[in-house]
Amino acid sequence: MNEKDQYKNRIDLLQGTLDMLVLQTLQWGPQHGYGIVQALRLRSGDVLQVETGSLYPALHRLERQGWVQSEWKQSESKQRARYYRITAKGKKQLASDLGRWERIVEAIGSVMYVKPEESES
Amino acid sequence: MRWFPTFGFQRRKRELQEEIDAHLQMAIADRVARGETAEAARQAASREFGNIPLVQDVARDMWGQAWLEQLGRDLRYALRQLRKSPGFSITATAMLAIAICANSTVFSWIDGTMLRPIPGARDTGELVSLQRGERNFSPVPPFSYLDYRDLREQNHTLAGLLAYHHDWITLTGGAQAQRVFIANVTANYFDVLGIKPVLGRFFLPEEETRPDAVPNVILSYSLWKTHYAADPAIVGKSIEIARHPVTVIGVAPEGFVGAMPGLRDDLWVTLDPLGTDVWRITHRSGGAVWLNVIGRLRPGVSRDQAAQDLDTVMHHIVAEYPDDHLGENRITLDPMWRSPFGANGYMAATLPILLAFAAVVLLLTCANVATLTLVRFVSRRRELAIRQSLGANRMQLVRQMVLEGVVLSIAAGAVALVLTSWTSKTFAWFFPASSAPIILNGSMDHNVVIGIAVSSLLAGMLCGALPAWRSSHAPAIEVLKAESASVTGGSRNRKLLSALVVAQIALSLPLLLCSGLFLRTLRNLADANPGFEQDQILTATVGLNIAGYSNNEQQVIRHKILDRVSTLPGVKVATFTDWIPMSLTQKKEDAYPEGYVPRPHESLKVAHVEVGPRYFESLHIPILEGREFTPDDDEKAPKVLIVDQTAARRYWPGQDPLGKKLRVWGMLFTVVGVAINSRHMFVNEAPEPMVYMSFFQQGYETIVQVETEGNPADLEPAVENAIHGVDSRLPVFDVRPMRETTQLASSFAVIESTLAGMFALIGLILAITGIYGVVAYRTQMRTHEIGIRMALGASRANVLRLVLVQGLWLTGIGLAVGLAFALGLTRFIARLLYGIGANDPVTVVSVVMLLGAMSLLACYFPALRAMHRNPVTAIREL
């Protein structure tokens, strides 16, 4: 496997995570791009700073896959914006993403918290 | 520059921009609300958002439109590359355009003739033309009306069967009689062809054989337009044909000119409009065999099935009327594209072969352009290597390079399209004015456009793909690292270059050989002795038989004309005939020698012509035995004949033919003379029997034939005036030297040799420039090596040999392959040759010598340049 392919895998992993986060945000109600960024920052206590350069392509990809739907609406501040809403298919995807995420976290956790003696045996 | 803009794409692009704007607005609003100044908020928001174009790019990738944009980018890149080397681009485009144009021109001729045999008719693929008896290249009408009607009523395989007969007639009633071509047709004629009238109606079944006091006539669209000013109320009006009133009942649609390919009908009437054809439509043999027949196959019926069916019906007819069907009676069917009736028989023998030649020219051109392209790619290998190491994969590189070829060929196709719209119409040039209403030309329709598109795309692939695939093979690192090691562009490219040069020589050889054979055929035809002297002969047709004169009137007028014309100054001999040899026409009749028992299925058809006194003298045809016709051989005298040697040998082998009798049209003719053989249709025909009858006994058409003292063309006005002096209303046509008429017989030889010659010239130029280019290029690449060789003591002769040998190897292989190819191909044109074998050694050797010598010359110049290089500068040069 060459360098390029490895790079591609890294992107896939990040994309998967971002997709999950976006879908989760939309679980709480339809939202526009800026709103998603704000919501993620707020919920994560300013830790997750989503790159807009990744967000919009991700939103368009999710829409193409049928996991979200979009429509143009007026925001509370009278700003015309594109609102994304999660679909039934998206919810299913979110559930599977979450399951995968939990398995990864668990797996990484079990690696990270191994006791030294056990690893030597 | 944007390629393939799509509405959806534009909309999404706009929406994305709006979405980003909204995002920024909201971010700014939040920041302002937190107390930042508007300016600071704007800057911070856009900084936070990041690279907007990048976001747009990535998002666009998501939409799956990437390949379109990529194609656009590749296209722009290809255009830029082509602009960078205008010399190459223009040369390649021009060469491809000429080669494509050669193909599309010949194809447009095929399209206008063979593919549209009956313009305006529905589904001409279902139409078949019927032939009875032995298959013949230029048959006479094969059916009688009664036989035709039996076939029409008793067959089980045809949806319709039509019959027609056509001839000249005059439109009278105006100041000067005008000659038009008229067809007697069956009532279902237009129906079977699927033609609808633009005005009025066509014929009804009950009118088919019914004579009328005032017959009905249908006008062709062009006659209606030119002669009657497109009068919308023409239907029902009375006009005059051959001094007889007729009523116009309809006008045929634009473009429809009749059922015989290549000939133009102006008028249509029924089979017996005046009641004068009663005999013709109630008999089955002799003069009653006058109809050409075309059938339309029922859906799902094959031509073979129909032929079998019709043959069975014909068998019954023959069994019932054996005396009327003595010769061969087998029925054969031909599709209209190669129907022997009309022009398509000739077309089918010539045009496909020319198209094959044109295809070879295109292949040759592709090989040439591919050579140029390969050399270009080799010289761009650094660029290609850099792009490869920057991450372009091989497929992308190939796509890019193929695209360059495709762009070139599309440009070439466009040029060819413009050229063809003119060249397609040049076909008519090959047919001089003659006594037949020939209407032949190429057509420029969607078929031709599709043909051009296909051939240009194929050409683009051929001359782009091969070099591209090869060039993309070069390992990038080696190219970049070891530039000098691969100065000749790698052995793989060298092999491909050599193969391309060999291919060019091998392809041009058959073209040269065929054109050489055609040119010599043309010369042989021109030099051949047709058996008569034609250089001082003038002919003029008097439309006596078609202008409505009675038989007695005709005889009186004929004698008066002969008297007047004979006494004209400059006239040596004046006589009559009713046919001119080698004019693509022929008159044939069944003839039965007295006491001769024909073998079953033996054809008794014999060509005949009716000639006046001193006819043989005027053409310098020797009479071997007996005598010529005299003015006394008229209607009151016993019927007499003169036969040629072939007829004499066939009917009375080993006997004296003088005094023997021959039965034609049920009348007995006595042989009074034997003439030497002469040609009837073509110089290269197989000798067929010919019988001459006396003009004053059997003459039909009136053609005045004059032997002049000087140039026959000078006497044209005098002869025409003399005829009009007898009766100023006499229609006189086709006043021209005989030489001009007989040229018609070699029209196709002229077409073949002209086009083959042009194609061969193109082939020769391409092959020679091809080998010159490659040898010159390779020698230049080896400059460094040659410098070293010379520095180490190689003589100039050594260098010359080095370069020459390499070129000669290529030439030798090319010639060997080409010769094998050419000798295999020439048998396809053997049929079209005259006086020369298909593998004529003189032509073969001279063509090989020519090509070899030209190639040698092409290699010699680069060799000479290499020889005179200064070794010191040569070594320095890389």
Q: Which residues in chain B touch residue A62, judged by CB atoms under 8 angstroms apart?
A: none
**Greatest mean pLDDT range, B28-32, B80-84, B254-258:** B254-258
Sign of CA dihedral B687, B693, B695, B698: negative
Q: What per-residue confidence (pLDDT) applies to B296?
A: 96
Q: Could you give the CA distance from residue B378 to residue B471 in angstroms, rounded to a whole number?
A: 7
pLDDT of B758-785, one tens digit each? Answer: 999 999 999 888 888 888 888 887 888 8
Q: Which residues in chain A touch residue B29, judged by CB atoms under 8 angstroms apart?
A: 77, 79
3-class secondary structure, B752: helix
Q: Which of A32, A38, A53 sits opposite B22 (nearest CB)?
A: A32
Token pair recorded at residue B632: 């006394």
| Mean pLDDT score, B698-726 | 91
Q: Could you give the CA distance from residue B262 to residue B350 in angstroms, rounded to a whole number?
A: 15
pLDDT of B813-845, one tens digit each? Answer: 999 999 998 988 888 888 888 888 888 899 999
Residues near B318 by beta carbon (within 8 Å), at least 6 away in sequence = B325, B329
Q: What per-residue confidence (pLDDT) applies to A75?
A: 76
Q: Break chain B into its structural domains and give their ranges.
A: 7-64, 68-117+346-431+441-486, 124-338, 488-529+746-878, 537-745
Q: Which residues in chain A touch residue B65, judged by CB atoms under 8 angstroms apart?
A: none
Q: Which of B29, B49, B62 sits opposite A61 (nearest CB)?
A: B62
What CATH number does the domain located at A3-120 have? 1.10.10.10
Residues near B61 by beta carbon (within 8 Å), at least 6 away in sequence = A57
Chain A CA closest to residue B25: A79
Strands B244-251 and B199-200: antiparallel
Res. A16: pLDDT tops 70: no
CB atoms within 10 A of CB B397: 20
How many helices and strands, by DSSP H and E, does chain A display?
5, 3
Give the largest CA-CA distance in chain A.
65
The answer to whether A40 touches A31, Cβ cutoff 8 Å, is no
Q: What per-residue confidence (pLDDT) applies to B481?
A: 58
Q: What per-residue confidence (pLDDT) applies to B27?
A: 84
Q: Could you give the CA distance from residue B472 to residue B480 in angstroms, rounded to a whole number?
A: 14
Task: Let me know if A30 is exposed, middle or buried by CB neighbors in 10 A (0-12, 13-18, 19+).
Answer: middle
| Mean pLDDT score, B313-339 | 89
Res. B361: pLDDT tops 60: yes
Q: How confident is the model at residue B435 (pLDDT cuts 50, 70, 90)?
A: confident
pLDDT of B615-644, one tens digit each? Answer: 999 999 999 999 999 988 888 899 999 999
Q: Could you give the CA distance from residue B268 to residue B271 in angstroms, rounded to a whole number?
A: 10
Q: How confident is the model at residue B478 (pLDDT cuts 50, 70, 90)?
A: low
pLDDT of B158-171, one tens digit each? Answer: 999 999 999 888 88
| Mean pLDDT score, A68-95 | 87
CA proximity to B257, closest of B123, B131, B116, B109? B116
Q: How confident is the model at residue B327 (pLDDT cuts 50, 70, 90)?
A: confident
CB atoms within 10 A of CB B109: 29
Q: Please indicate whether residue B808 or residue B57 has the higher confidence score (pLDDT).
A: B808
Q: What per-residue confidence (pLDDT) applies to A70?
A: 87
Q: What per-residue confidence (pLDDT) applies to B316?
A: 93
pLDDT of B126-159, one tens digit each? Answer: 999 999 887 776 678 889 999 999 999 999 999 9
CA proximity to B583, closest of B541, B645, B629? B541
Q: What per-residue confidence (pLDDT) applies to B601?
A: 63
Q: How confident is the model at residue B475 (pLDDT cuts 50, 70, 90)?
A: low
**Cα angle value B755/B756/B758 (rounded, 5°):** 65
3-class secondary structure, B177: coil
CB atoms within 10 A of CB B630: 15
Q: What per-residue confidence (pLDDT) applies to B539?
A: 94
Q: What per-residue confidence (pLDDT) applies to B684?
A: 80
Q: Where is average pLDDT lowest: A66-75, B63-72, B111-120?
A: B63-72
Q: Please indicate whether residue B205 or residue A56 has the higher confidence score (pLDDT).
A: B205
How many helices and strands, by DSSP H and E, does chain B display?
27, 22
CA proximity to B733, closest of B174, B177, B242, B182? B177
- Rounded to 10°, the helix A33-43/A3-27 angle is 90
Contact between A52 and B49 using a beta-carbon 8 Å cutoff: yes
Q: Where is average pLDDT lowest: A62-66, B528-532, B551-555, B870-874?
A: B870-874
Q: What share of chain B is helix, strand, coil (3-state, %, to 5)?
A: 55, 15, 30
Q: How confident is the model at residue B334 (pLDDT cuts 50, 70, 90)?
A: very high
**Residues linked to residue B574 through DSSP beta bridges, in sequence order:** B706
The answer to whether A96 touches A26, Cβ cutoff 8 Å, is no
Residues near B827 by beta carbon (within 8 Å), at least 6 away in sequence = B838
Q: Which residues in chain A touch residue B393, judged by CB atoms under 8 angstroms apart?
A: none
| Mean pLDDT score, B854-873 | 84
Contact between A32 and B23 using a beta-carbon 8 Å cutoff: yes
**Residue labelled with tokens 């959806």:** B8
B771/chain A closest Cα distance in angstroms: 44
Above pLDDT 70, what percent of chain B?
Answer: 93
**Greatest mean pLDDT range, B169-173, B569-573, B595-599:** B569-573
Q: How confident is the model at residue A13 (pLDDT cuts 50, 70, 90)?
A: very low
**Per-residue 3-state assignment (H helix, E strand, C coil) for B331-380:** EEEEEHHHCCCCCHHHHHHHHHHHHHHHHHHHHHHHHHHHHHHHHHHHHC
Assess B21–A contact: CB distance below 8 Å, yes or no. Answer: no
Q: How confident is the model at residue A8 (pLDDT cuts 50, 70, 90)?
A: very low
Token pair recorded at residue B235: 């239907």
Token pair recorded at residue B533: 């002297």
Q: What per-residue confidence (pLDDT) applies to B358?
A: 93
CA proximity to B688, closest of B730, B740, B738, B649? B649
Task: Let me know if B598 is exposed, middle or buried by CB neighbors in 10 A (0-12, 13-18, 19+).
Answer: middle
Classify residue B438 by its DSSP letter. B
Q: What per-residue confidence (pLDDT) applies to B560?
A: 93
Assess B635–A contact: CB distance below 8 Å, yes or no. Answer: no
Q: What per-residue confidence (pLDDT) applies to B490?
A: 58
CA distances from A1 to A5, B208, B224, B395 (A): 6, 86, 80, 19
CB atoms within 10 A of CB B838: 19
Q: What per-residue confidence (pLDDT) applies to B236?
A: 93
The answer to whether B292 touches B128, Cβ cutoff 8 Å, is no
**Residue labelled with tokens 């143009």:** A72
Q: What per-residue confidence (pLDDT) applies to B486?
A: 46
Assess B18–A contact: CB distance below 8 Å, yes or no. Answer: yes
The answer to whether B594 touches B660, Cβ cutoff 8 Å, is yes
Res. A1: pLDDT tops 50: no
Quote the mean pLDDT of chain B. 86
The pTM of the full predicted model, rounded to 2 decimals, is 0.77
Contact between A33 and B29 using a beta-carbon 8 Å cutoff: no
Q: What per-residue confidence (pLDDT) applies to B58?
A: 66
Q: Could you give the CA distance from residue B542 to residue B699 in angstroms, rounded to a whole number?
A: 12
The answer to whether A111 touches A118, Cβ cutoff 8 Å, is no
Q: Could you give the CA distance from residue B242 to residue B168 in angstroms, rounded to a whole number?
A: 10
Q: Which of A53, A60, A80 sits opposite B22 (nearest CB)?
A: A80
Q: Where is average pLDDT lowest: B198-212, B241-255, B770-784, B864-878?
A: B864-878
Q: How confident is the model at residue A48 (pLDDT cuts 50, 70, 90)?
A: confident
Res. A64: pLDDT tops 90: no
The answer to whether B703 touches B578, Cβ cutoff 8 Å, is yes
Q: Please indicate whether residue B596 or residue B445 has the higher confidence score (pLDDT).
A: B445
Contact between B22 and A81 using a beta-carbon 8 Å cutoff: yes
CA distances from B547 to B409, B666, B696, B714, B736 (A): 57, 28, 19, 27, 21
Q: Which of A60, A77, A82 sits opposite B59 (nearest CB)?
A: A60
Res. A120: pLDDT tops 80: no
- Optimal mutation site among B13, B15, B19, B63, interface A, most CBs of chain A within 10 A: B19
The answer to whether B568 touches B718, Cβ cutoff 8 Å, is yes
pLDDT of B665-709, one tens digit each? Answer: 878 899 999 999 999 988 888 888 899 999 999 888 899 999 999
| Mean pLDDT score, B495-513 | 88
Q: Break chain A into its structural domains and give their ranges.
A: 3-120
| Mean pLDDT score, A6-13 | 40
B769/chain A closest Cα distance in angstroms: 46
| Mean pLDDT score, A73-93 | 86
Q: Which of B15, B26, B391 sits opposite A34 (nearest CB)?
A: B26
